[in-house]
Structure 1
Amino acid sequence: MSGSVFLNNIQFVPSLNEMRETIRDKFREKMKKITGRKEIILDPKSVGSLGLMIDITIMKECGIQKFLYLKDNLPPLEKYTNRIFFIPPKLLLIKTLTNYLQKVKKFTKKEEIERYEEIKKENHYLFLYPRKTILCDEILEEDGVYDLITVDDFDLGIIPFETDVLTLELDSDFRKYRMNDISSLYYITTSLLNLQKHVGKIPEIKWIGEKSKFVAEMLKKHQEETENQNQNQNAKKSEIDSLIIFDRKTDMITPLVTQINYEGLINEVFVIKNTYVELPAKWLDFNKEKEEKSQLEDNKEQQQPVVKTDPNKRQKYVLNSTDLLFTEIRDRNMGEVGAILNSKAKEISKEYGTRFEPNQSISSLRKFVQKLPHLQDQHFSLSVHIKMTQEILAITSKPHFSDRMENELALLAGEITDANEYIENLINKQDKIQSVFRILCLQSLILNGLKQKDFDFFRKEIVQVYGHKYIFSLYNLQKFGILKLSESKSNFPQIRKIFNLINFDFDKSDDHVYSVFSGYAPISVRIIQQAFEPGWESIKNQLFLLENSSFGTIYNVSKKELIEMEEKRKKTKVVLVFFIGGVTHAEISGLRLLEKDQGNKFHYVIATTKIIDGAYVSKSFIDPLVF
């Protein structure tokens, strides 16, 4: 199957296809300036997002002959070669780089002095993506290697994961987000300005939350300055009708809830990175699996050992809309996936059952043969999704998972006053600290804090069982306000009722918003649903029940122009929703399902700083020195 993540048939925002080509052209231009033999050094953990925009074919086209991963023991640089480091500005990566450059600088043997002079004359290049930071420059200076390398940045911008999903994939964004570091807000602003160079000026910007307000006002300011400088230039007609900027802190509850849509559960169980999931290699090798089964049968009587694929070997599998089966089931509740896969298996079996008869025409034979690759692709996809589903069901059927789900949903529905007994059991069993923080913080947010005795008890238990190193994590959780003492009554019962968040009797086969969390409709999706119908202004008293719920609208065109646009626009309004602080797969699915609920009057394109889940959020509060 195709590994391409970006489709050409973008219906609503065709100019998004230009973005990748612009980045590729920029890469070609940078590489063109570096003459001679080239080798590129990449970060294995971050190469995925880079590869979505600039694949290995483009790199080879630009004269890159060797690909290496950044590590402590890089081989010596070959003569007449340019070594290009293409990495994110992470402290550990920069320190690994400076260690390498210091080794280059410390040639001491007489026979190596001449070699060192050759290396100094050859170029080392450092391209930092998404942007260069002052800290990186300072580290290179302090370690005495700044003169050995040419430093530049390479802004990847907003990366299209899907036709309706864009992301900046800022790995450290949530840590910076909770620390109120506004540097990422400037980068978000720049990225949205660059996006508008492709899709046109977005006429309407709605924002909710303080960080969203900051970005919206920065966008307005930059756009006004640009317009003053280019008064005579004709503006491109916008392909996006409205931008909603959503501050994650307005709804911190949803990311902590366990996702039950198919794609969300794949992420919970396997972890999806840059649209790829790592699966056992034998799952993706039909021939090998058949060979092992055949060998097993042949050797049963002789009791000979079977040579099997290494069970620990993993292989990447792409999860995007090039996989038609995945597109059909990704947003569905997990309870419905098995029936759909069973139906697909019957369809494919029926297609394979069609046999070519000797008396049929050559044209009929050609049509039959042409169908085979498509059937093989479908069969392969079905096989992979069946195996993933079996693995997911094996996990979700266990008490460890069902108990967590039961307690989460009971807290959300107000069926229990707390999950203290469940949390205490997790601690006693020494479950993952991220899992403990996840449910503890969910309870704190729903109840608007913990009682003093509960707060003290859990803090004491966590430190005793997991160690004093987690004192800083507890401090971080308190500082951000995600774990706190109860000071006033919770607004959540009112929020739950007003926004119609809970319905355990929904029809799973009806693709409803409730399905993504098995009965809970995400607060974020409900807020976005109300943005235009009836509009936030008309429900402002209800919105003020939420944390960080200040909101507003900024217009980049006159009222008259806006009315004209509304009149000329086709039935569907294209809305770009940008989540500052991350968005979950379940929320993305929820917005897709919302389109159907709203009669396809709106099409949502989701953009974010990063795709996240509860484990990611919980881990971001743990001091990095712990890991």
Structure 2
Amino acid sequence: KQVQEFFGDYYAINRDLVSLNVPSCAPLMRGNWDQKLFDRITSGVLAVLLAMKRRPVIRYQGKSTLCERLASNVKDCIKQDSGLFDFRRNEPCLLVILDRREDPMTPLLTQWTYQAMIHDLFGINNNRVVMGEPKAGASGEKEKDEIVLSMDADPFFNKNMYANWGDLCQRLKQFVDEFKKKSDQTSNIQSIDEMKNFMRDYPEFRKMSGNVSKHVNLVSEIGDKISERDLLNISVLEQEMACYDSHTAHYEKLVAILQNPKAQPMDCLRLVMLYALRYEGNPKNSLPELRRLLEAKGGPADKLDLILKYGGAKERHTGMFHKEGMSKIVTNLTRGFKDVNNVYTQHEPLLKGILEKIASNRLSTEQFPFVPEFTPQGGSKWKPKQVFIFILGGATFEEALFVNAFNDPSNTNNSANAMQDGGGGVGVAQAANLVGLRRKEKEDVHCVLGGTSMLNAADFLREVDAIYA
């Protein structure tokens, strides 16, 4: 017999995604130091490293004081408890600590893959999703329907969590047809042997029945939300503003949406925030007029200044918006005509570029310096086998999609098309293509993504508001 210590100060969401379930980092980000919160984040990062059995080389977002402080604290803790990190087989591992403020755009975008959509529209809390209006329970108190989503216990979710909206609807139909076929078979029992077979298979049949019902209800609710909020049209403009400059066209489309009675105030707020981030330095910026229209819509126009304080040009240092030549602009403008599938999948989070540079050993030491004493041996030729990217301020499921595609670019069966039958989304196949890594360049690099929390747009807006409250 022996006693073993397990380090569980984190919550494993997917096979390559973890969260610390820290509800807010606002005290740290606004300068009101909270040592207890800081220690909780540090212990969570250390727990993931211990679970991976890795003593890492550490890098951090160079212009972020908070990232630098966390990186230094992780280093000190590893040195203090060096015995815990003395692993016999210690493959090269890299810990990269990022600041959410470098990419405030990704959490604002509408999501179009199954897991990401569920979190965006309803919220996923410890694999549980609460849906619908409260209903009277056995005790008389109102209770909401709660759905459990687990990639380990739910084969349909495991297979389709990265599927885009169009593919998801098709696969759900196939799933329902398969269940209906089995159900029809059970209604024609005519012999003792058939009865025995039915009783043998009944537990699996009953489990499948519950699974079908769960996903049909969930997808139905998602479809209602998409229609109710006109998210297809809103998402097209989101993607356009996230990916390229076209001020006049974007302004006209944005005004049209703000004047559309179907558009909801919070969706309009997200759009105007994206406009503010994209055209912050544009001399033709029409933010005052958009602010007026947002107020008329009933949206909280006072929140617009907060997004620029949080992640405006002065706060960013790694280039969320890339300068584009005329040929690139023309390519983007015509992309919708040549390949309609791409209009919902154009955006690439900042994380994508960081992953590419890590895999090809091109990550800037100026933008992402090493922590002293935790620099690699071998200089520029050193290359990690394991990468743990941790985002202070929260990660998103869009970024998790890119990490999954990075880890398994051959997994192209999960999502072939971005838009089918009026749906849209980023698929694993397209994310793999966007990552664009040659196998010889990537080799055996494996990445785990972590964050203080998992953000959706509503969580992100509350966090920004809390920082400057």
Q: 1:160 is matched with which residue? A: 12
Contact 1:169 1:611 in 2 (8 A): yes
C-alpha distance in 1, partners of 2:167/2:115? 13
Contact 1:446 1:490 in 2 (8 A): no
Which ranges in structure 1 are unaligned for 5 or more consecutive residues?
Answer: 1-15, 21-156, 286-309, 509-513, 541-548, 567-572
Q: 2:7 is matched with which residue? A: 19
Q: 2:161 is matched with which residue? A: 330
TM superposition shift of 1:257: 1.4
C-alpha distance in 1, partners of 2:467/2:72? 33
TM superposition shift of 1:251: 1.8
1:278-321 Cα shifts (integer Å, max 9, x gaps) = 134999x9xxxxxxxxxxxxxxxxxxxxxxxx9x8521111221
Q: 1:619 is matched with which residue? A: 462
Contact 2:131 2:146 in 1 (8 A): yes
- Report the 3-state secondary structure (helix = DSSP H, G, I; strand = E; otherwise coil) of the residue aligned with 2:116: helix
Within a 5 Å distance, the mapping from 1:105-120 to structure 2 comes to none
TM superposition shift of 1:234: 4.8
Q: 2:43 is matched with which residue? A: 190
Within a 5 Å distance, the mapping from 1:459-538 to structure 2 comes to 459-462=291-294, 466=298, 471=302, 473-482=303-312, 491-494=321-324, 518-537=345-364
1:562-589 Cα shifts (integer Å, max 9, x gaps) = 99997xxxxxx44322111111122212
Change (3 A) 1:387 1:219: same
- Report the 3-state secondary structure (helix = DSSP H, G, I; strand = E; otherwise coil) of the residue aligned with 1:252: coil
Within a 5 Å distance, the mapping from 1:228-239 to structure 2 comes to 234-235=86-87, 237-238=89-90
Change (3 A) 1:402 1:163: closer
TM superposition shift of 1:259: 0.7
Q: 1:217 is matched with which residue? A: 72
Contact 1:257 1:614 in 2 (8 A): yes
C-alpha distance in 2, partners of 1:563/1:375? 55
Change (3 A) 1:319 1:221: same
TM superposition shift of 1:524: 1.7
Q: 1:410 is matched with which residue? A: 240
Contact 1:579 1:609 in 2 (8 A): yes
Q: 1:208 is matched with which residue? A: 61
TM superposition shift of 1:387: 2.2
1:581-612 Cα shifts (integer Å, max 9, x gaps) = 11112221222123222568343322111111
Change (3 A) 1:180 1:237: farther
- Alignment-mate amino acid for residue 179 of structure 1: R
- Alignment-mate amino acid for residue 440 of structure 1: V
1:351-393 Cα shifts (integer Å, max 9, x gaps) = 4455667475xxx976653332123222221222122222322
Structure 2 residue aligned with 1:559, among 369, 373, 377? Answer: 377
What is the root-mean-square deviation in Å for CA atoms of aligned residues?
A: 4.5
TM superposition shift of 1:180: 4.6
Contact 1:275 1:318 in 2 (8 A): yes
Structure 2 residue aligned with 1:341, among 161, 172, 184? Answer: 172
Contact 2:396 2:456 in 1 (8 A): yes
C-alpha distance in 2, partners of 1:558/1:534? 12
Change (3 A) 1:366 1:595: farther
C-alpha distance in 1, partners of 2:345/2:383? 39
C-alpha distance in 1, partners of 2:321/2:222? 35
C-alpha distance in 1, partners of 2:446/2:332? 22
- Report the 3-state secondary structure (helix = DSSP H, G, I; strand = E; otherwise coil) of the residue aligned with 2:203: helix
Contact 2:101 2:310 in 1 (8 A): no
Contact 1:208 1:247 in 2 (8 A): yes
- Alignment-mate amino acid for residue 217 of structure 1: S
TM superposition shift of 1:425: 5.0
Contact 1:435 1:615 in 2 (8 A): no
Contact 1:200 1:240 in 2 (8 A): no
Q: TM-score, normalised by structure 1?
A: 0.56
TM superposition shift of 1:261: 0.8
1:168-195 Cα shifts (integer Å, max 9, x gaps) = 222222x346525564555422322344
- Report the 3-state secondary structure (helix = DSSP H, G, I; strand = E; otherwise coil) of the residue aligned with 1:19: coil
Segment drifting more, 197-206 vs 425-434: 425-434
Q: 1:441 is matched with which residue? A: 273
Q: 2:104 is matched with which residue? A: 252
1:46-96 Cα shifts (integer Å, max 9, x gaps) = xxxxxxxxxxxxxxxxxxxxxxxxxxxxxxxxxxxxxxxxxxxxxxxxxxx
- Alignment-mate amino acid for residue 591 of structure 1: V
TM superposition shift of 1:494: 3.3
1:20-45 Cα shifts (integer Å, max 9, x gaps) = 4xxxxxxxxxxxxxxxxxxxxxxxxx
Within a 5 Å distance, the mapping from 1:91-130 to structure 2 comes to none
1:270 and 2:122 are equivalent in the alignment: yes
Change (3 A) 1:520 1:501: farther
- Report the 3-state secondary structure (helix = DSSP H, G, I; strand = E; otherwise coil) of the residue aligned with 1:385: helix
Contact 2:16 2:404 in 1 (8 A): no
- Report the 3-state secondary structure (helix = DSSP H, G, I; strand = E; otherwise coil) of the residue aligned with 1:621: helix
Contact 2:118 2:222 in 1 (8 A): yes
1:181-215 Cα shifts (integer Å, max 9, x gaps) = 56455542232234444443433234335243332
- Alignment-mate amino acid for residue 396 of structure 1: I
Q: 2:415 is matched with which residue? A: none
C-alpha distance in 1, partners of 2:230/2:108? 17
TM superposition shift of 1:421: 3.8
1:593 and 2:405 are equivalent in the alignment: yes
- Report the 3-state secondary structure (helix = DSSP H, G, I; strand = E; otherwise coil) of the residue aligned with 1:434: helix
The sequence identity of aligned pairs, in percent, is 17
- Alignment-mate amino acid for residue 30 of structure 2: M
Change (3 A) 1:207 1:176: same
C-alpha distance in 1, partners of 2:386/2:196? 42
Contact 2:7 2:47 in 1 (8 A): no
Contact 1:506 1:519 in 2 (8 A): no
1:225-255 Cα shifts (integer Å, max 9, x gaps) = 444xx69x95464588332322222222211
**Structure ranking higher on relative contact order (CA contacts 8 Å, 6+ apart):** 2
Contact 1:179 1:480 in 2 (8 A): no
TM superposition shift of 1:258: 0.9
1:504-535 Cα shifts (integer Å, max 9, x gaps) = 67797xxxxx79x5333323223223312243
C-alpha distance in 2, partners of 1:586/1:313? 31
Contact 2:61 2:97 in 1 (8 A): yes
Change (3 A) 1:256 1:470: closer
C-alpha distance in 2, partners of 1:181/1:238? 38
- Report the 3-state secondary structure (helix = DSSP H, G, I; strand = E; otherwise coil) of the residue aligned with 1:552: coil
Within a 5 Å distance, the mapping from 1:574-585 to structure 2 comes to 574-585=386-397
C-alpha distance in 1, partners of 2:160/2:241? 28
- Alignment-mate amino acid for residue 464 of structure 2: F
1:458 and 2:267 are equivalent in the alignment: no
C-alpha distance in 2, partners of 1:466/1:423? 16
Contact 2:103 2:320 in 1 (8 A): no
Contact 1:200 1:236 in 2 (8 A): no
TM superposition shift of 1:166: 1.7
Aligned length: 414
Contact 1:280 1:313 in 2 (8 A): no
C-alpha distance in 1, partners of 2:79/2:106? 36
C-alpha distance in 2, partners of 1:403/1:278? 26
